[in-house]
Structure 1
Amino acid sequence: MMHKNIAIAVAATLLLGPLAACSSSGSSGDGNGSGGGSGRGGSVTIGESTSLSGSIANLGQTGLQGLQLAAADMNASGGLLGKKIKVVSADDNAQPATGASEARSMITKNHAVALFGPVSSAVAAAQEQVAAQYKVPIFFHTSNDVGLMTKTFTPYAFQDVPNTMMEPRAVADYLAKKVGNKQITIATFAPDYSFGHDTVDGFLQALKTLHVNYKLVKQEFPPLGASNISSYLSALVSAHPQYVFNAQYGGDLVAFTKQAAQFGFFKDTTVIAMYAYAPLAALGSSAPAGAIGFDRAPFWEIKTPEMTKFVSEFKAKYGKYPTEWAILAYSAAQEWAYAVKKAGSFDSAKVIKELPGASVPTIIGSMTVRACDHQSEVPEYVGTISGTADPKFGIHLYNDGFTAPFKDISLTCSEVKALQK
């Protein structure tokens, strides 16, 4: 989902010298980057370097929990190709160079046969190049910048979340249906790095495509993790927008909501933001009723037996309901396991050939991996936050949930190919 200049960050990672040590939730396996060991028995290792501290830590922490639970479930069923799955993890501090160093260490020191992606898209871009250098598949289940599957795309990278074109298109579609031909004023608010800028650009472009009659009155880009955003909020309040599209997430979005409420901001302005389970749970009764929320995988909207079972298992293990980050991490692990089983091997060259065009059964349903860009054909969920707490889950959910299908919000393969050049 830090740095504006991803190209510089990626170049820096390729020049890294000595390997950095990574903290782990399991010892190294007997696998390696190309094959993962031979015969049955023993173990193989997968790795995740992600944000485990700071204002966006909830995304990385719960994503890691989803990955760990997937590995535990595989192991409880006899492992994968007869081998136990071990997970190593590390905190990238949302820094591309740190994340790249940790990814390299996981491959060369822990012999990881697959990597699972971080929160920050800038970190993801750096890790993507490391994975390609060592020919190890990497699965992005949180970071979602469209550039990952276009500008920096490699055959070893897979994206399992709606990207920064898909997500804002879904929100724009929802808003267009609500406002019709009425003229509206809009402001934007987003973290100052690639994800924030690309998401805002995607939203505004989608509004134009849908012929929404809007006037852009203000744009603010505070730093990721900024604790005091009063000056940015004051600028928004002064602009008097009817709608604010906010691309913040996690703790940053919670902080925005609490500070904005002190300004009386929600009285005359409808905020559109990633009000997913974790922020809504953190806000409790302070959740802004009437605001528009969007979510990549809300468990309460995905009504499959597999999701019901997962939610129950996750809550029993961790004492809370799963975030979309946990859900998508678990699904990404299922995607990797599917390919390993199809290939009959942990060999990366064989594994990555099994996924393009495949429809993978996961807890969120059948997830097709598009061949042209390895983008999973997943939907986006949008809705208006209810004024009352849901009696079952105890938080304010969406009262008119809308599911935007992949075909309506994705780039075409022709558009993708043009961006990959």
Structure 2
Amino acid sequence: MEQPGGLASTQVEAQNAAALQLAIKQSLKQAALERELEAISEQFSQPCYNTKLQKTEPYHNAFLRNLFGIRYISGEREKFQFELDRGVIYILTKIRQKRFMSAEFAEKTHIELILQRIGEDRYCFSAVARGIAQGLNQRFAGQNWGRNAVQPAQATPATRAASDEGKKPKPKRDASSPSAKSQKEPKLKKAVDEIHISKPIPADDDPIFGLNGPMRGTLIKYNTADPQTVAKSIVLNPNIAQISSKVFGHNGINMGQFFPRQMAALAQGAHGSSQAGISGTAEDGAYSVIVTGRYNSLEKDGLEKFEYCATGSTENTFKDSLIENLGLKTMRRSLTTKKPVRVLRGENNEFRYAPKVGLRYDGLYTVVKEEQRVNGKGGVYAVFVLERMEGQEPVDLSRPNAADIKLFGELKERLA
């Protein structure tokens, strides 16, 4: 049976199915991009000390270090700067794929503010990053940032066929001709391949990513259509609802529960960030923290009581003022409210109670004290003391056990 415009019904159905798959893929990409931009705009709102300009202001080194988990090592500033620029250019490249701006997207992500600041010389971004940001700013400003704008609808094969009704039909192409094969079949196949190969959904009984696996709620993303030769990363599984971590208390997490990667803790509601060590808000306080010994020389770890430093503790050079960032405000709020904070410990050879690999859930603690000390650069920093709450099961130091470590090794092999 022929449809208007000369398309067979099976061909219309196949092309509509491909269009639907692409729409789902684009929707998931947009949701991920929105989360990344929200994190950037949140970091941009926090004043951080700019060592180059010698004053406190929003600065890309601070927010990108938090966003991408990059650590600055003295004597490697050029490498550090390269990593920062590469990170922001990666984000800008994803934004550049948006042809049209919507008012909802602009309001949710604060994209206008982000592009303006990245494009300004005073924030010390690279010329490449500034150029991309300025170009995007001009593009979306011309669209009035999606306000009162009507975006052109994307036609599907069905809508095109309907619109052609009443028009003189075009001559049908011979399906066996080279032009028909090269223009139709490869495009449809490529779209389907990208969807199924780039983010294959793990089986329910997968020992690592399945419903009972330690990485449940996540999957491996392949960055090109060839899973044998590309870089791999762990992302959230779109087929499994992410458990909200914005809850005080255990939130269904078992004592000693093992997470091979921080992304698993995010997916399962243990911790609300795939990168940052503090999860919470300045209004509510911390829901959870991850103890990794990032500031080994400044912190002390113990099962019943430990010390925790906010971001920027080793970088500050001010003798009389702290680096005011979201982590500091969040921990101070927890000190006031005394609400329980979930604590996960990460692997660290220098900490006696740290797990050998991955992350381990050690229960609920409260923030009981803040102290101010001086770091090696003469700058003041804040140390928070957390004490374990009574009435809980003891910390399970047997985790990760041999089975956990074996699965951790298998995960590394899959990501290699």
TM-score by length of 2: 0.23
Larger Rg: 2
TM-score by length of 1: 0.23
- Higher RCO (CA 8 Å, separation ≥ 6 residues): 1
